């Protein structure tokens, strides 16, 4: 199984939450749903949370060590898969999908024997549909877009871009049929975008390559791509991301 982890923030019950999840599992979800039908958790109360209720720099090493011990125990007892963690409101919750629970107490004793100073709760319940993974850990289309946006922004900054200079930002959108093609084009042009050319992906799905002069700073690009996702969905199309050139400050 491919190990492919992503990290992002979302709102859970009115509180900010930092989500880290194993995206690679989604590629084998059908098989795992059949064999790993119990969701299990280990919830740890942080002793020194940050102001937002996340891991503080001082406490992070010990919590990461606990995470490693839990993962080692999961491998030792071979009972399931570690799928993600949620850090919010002064707690960190580690989530697993397991095949069986008869040695769950042994798993906990082995993993947590060096962490007796922490307040820890745990439990498990049936979740054959993997709703905790699909609805709690896995991002919505807009949350996925934030992940991708910030990766591109981070890459630009690493190359010396301040992200504050406006420049042409190119986008792609694909539609499954031609029924809304004209209306989609008009909607994009109404928002100030220029259609560069009609395109087609490897699967033969048609779309548009279009651009507008904008600033690729984190919050700006998030708002812009959210609006494009909404436009695309309204016209039964799919937004497929953006790219731009590096612009380095001359100062």
Query: Which of 114, 137, 160 finishes a domain?
Result: 137
The answer for residues whose C-beta is within 8 angstroms of residue 25's C-beta and 6 or more apart is 1, 32, 81, 83, 133
Q: In terms of domains, do 129 and 224 share one? A: no
Query: Which of 112, 137, 162 finishes a domain?
Result: 137
pLDDT recorded at residue 251: 55
E strand or H helix that includes residue 44: strand 38-45
Q: In terms of domains, do 133 and 186 share one? A: no
Q: Which domain CATH number covers 159? A: 3.30.70.970
Is 112 a member of any domain?
A: yes
The pLDDT tens digits along the chain (251 residues) read: 567 899 999 999 899 999 999 999 988 888 888 999 999 999 999 999 998 899 999 999 999 999 999 999 999 999 999 999 999 999 999 999 999 999 999 999 999 999 999 999 999 999 999 999 999 999 999 999 999 999 999 999 999 999 999 999 999 999 988 889 999 999 999 999 999 999 999 989 999 999 999 999 999 999 999 999 999 999 999 999 999 999 987 65
Q: In terms of domains, do 125 and 171 share one? A: no
Q: Which domain CATH number covers 39? A: 3.30.70
Is 249 a member of any domain?
A: no
- CB-based burial label for 205 (10 Å; 0-12, 13-18, 19+): middle
State the residue range of the domain holding 210: 141-244
Q: In terms of domains, do 51 and 116 share one? A: yes
Using alpha carbons, select from 170, 194, 174 the residue that is nearest to residue 239: 174
Is 155 a member of any domain?
A: yes
Query: Which of 84, 119, 137 finishes a domain?
Result: 137
Is 119 a member of any domain?
A: yes
Q: In terms of domains, do 112 and 167 share one? A: no
Q: In terms of domains, do 122 and 181 share one? A: no
When divided into structural domains, the chain yields a total of 2
pLDDT recorded at residue 206: 94
pLDDT recorded at residue 2: 60
Q: In terms of domains, do 36 and 113 share one? A: yes
Is 250 a member of any domain?
A: no
- Which token pair is 17? 């939450």
Is 251 a member of any domain?
A: no
Q: In terms of domains, do 18 and 133 share one? A: yes
pLDDT recorded at residue 250: 60
Q: In terms of domains, do 15 and 107 share one? A: yes
Q: In terms of domains, do 41 and 131 share one? A: yes
Is 52 a member of any domain?
A: yes
Q: What is the dihedral of CA 69, 71, 73, 74, to 10 degrees?
A: 170
Which backbone phi and psi does 40 adopt, to 5 degrees?
-125, 150
* pTM recorded for the entire structure: 0.86
Report in angstroms the alpha-carbon separations of 24 from 5, 184, 239: 7, 33, 22
Q: In terms of domains, do 196 and 129 share one? A: no
Q: In terms of domains, do 212 and 113 share one? A: no
């Amino acid at each position: 199984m491919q190990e492919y982890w992503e990290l992002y923030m979302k709102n859970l019950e009115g509180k900010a939450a930092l989500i880290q999840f194993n995206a690679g599992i989604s590629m084998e979800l059908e098989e795992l749903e059949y064999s790993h039908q119990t969701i299990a958790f280990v919830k740890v109360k942080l002793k020194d949370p940050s102001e937002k209720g996340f891991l503080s720099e001082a406490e992070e090493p010990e919590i990461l060590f606990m995470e490693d011990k839990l993962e080692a125990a999961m491998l030792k007892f071979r009972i399931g898969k570690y799928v993600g963690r949620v850090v919010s409101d002064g707690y960190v919750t580690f989530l697993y999908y397991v095949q069986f629970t008869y040695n769950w107490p042994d798993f906990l004793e082995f993993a947590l024997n060096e962490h007796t100073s922490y307040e820890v709760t745990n439990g498990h319940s049936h979740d054959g549909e993997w709703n905790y993974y699909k609805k709690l850990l896995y991002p919505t289309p807009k949350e996925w877009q934030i992940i991708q946006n910030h990766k591109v922004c981070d890459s630009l900054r690493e190359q010396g871009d301040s992200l504050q200079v406006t420049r042409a930002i190119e986008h792609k959108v694909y539609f499954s049929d031609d029924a809304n093609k004209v209306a989609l084009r008009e909607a994009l042009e109404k928002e100030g975008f220029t259609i560069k050319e009609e395109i087609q992906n490897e699967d033969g799905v048609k779309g548009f390559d279009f651009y507008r002069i904008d600033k690729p700073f984190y919050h700006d690009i998030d708002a812009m791509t959210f609006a494009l996702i909404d436009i695309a969905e309204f016209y039964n199309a799919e937004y497929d991301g953006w790219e731009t050139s590096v612009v380095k400050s001359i100062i």
